[in-house]
Structure 1
Amino acid sequence: MRDFLLFARLKISNYPLVHIKAKMMTLWRFVEYATVKNLTKKEKLLLSFWESPPLQETGHRDSM
């Protein structure tokens, strides 16, 4: 679900899934660089959940 939300934000949900997976790391670097200054607080929180390691999750994502 969090992947879908990120891709929906970037309006690339129509790309082939394999292409998205292949470009994942490059895409994330771009997102990290390009949206630091113009994300809302809610979106920053969402992205922080998206990139957090599973073992460090606090369970807040499940309540979304």
Structure 2
Amino acid sequence: MGEVVNLRRARKAMRRQADATQASANRVAHGRTRAEIDADRAAAARRDALLDGARLDPGAGKDAEG
């Protein structure tokens, strides 16, 4: 005689496994690690700071010529 299996628990277990597999596939296809996201944000902040520091004042050149 075989082992008695609770079908509700078996279905839930199969569903959890399927969801975990799908989530793993989605992470590979679409996701990035937290470290990658933080590194991109830091690089953007450095780039913005560099560009803001090199910004020219539009009125500064007119006074010097006159």
| TM-score in terms of structure 2 length | 0.27
| TM-score in terms of structure 1 length | 0.28
Larger relative contact order (CA 8 Å, sep ≥ 6): 1
Structure that is richer in helix per residue: 2
Between structure 1 and structure 2, the one with the greater Rg is 2
